[in-house]
Amino acid sequence: MGALEINLDAIFAPYSNDPRSTSPGAPGVFYDRASRELRIGVQPNLTDGMSTSLVPQLTWPDGFQGRWTADYGIAPLRNSKGERAHVGGAFCAFRSEKRSASGR
* Inter-residue contact 51 to 39 (CB < 8 Å): yes
* DSSP structural state of residue 11: G
Domain assignment of residue 63, given as a range: 8-94
**What DSSP designation does 23 have?**
-
Say how many C-beta atoms besides its own lie within 10 A of residue 28's C-beta.
Answer: 21
Rounded distance, CA 23 to CA 28, Å? 8
Asked if the structure places residue 103 within a domain, the reply is: no
Q: Tell me, yes or no, whether 46 lies in a domain.
A: yes
Half-sphere exposure for 48 (CA within 13 Å, toward CB): 3
| Res 1: pLDDT | 61
pLDDT bracket for residue 100 (50, 70, 90): very low
Domain count, the chain: 1
Domain annotation covers residue 99? no
Is 72 part of a structural domain of the chain? yes
pTM tops 0.75: no
- Specify if 104 maps to a domain: no
**pLDDT tens digits along 2-20:** 777 788 888 888 888 888 8
pLDDT tens sequence across 12-67: 888 888 888 888 888 888 888 888 898 888 876 666 678 889 999 999 998 899 99
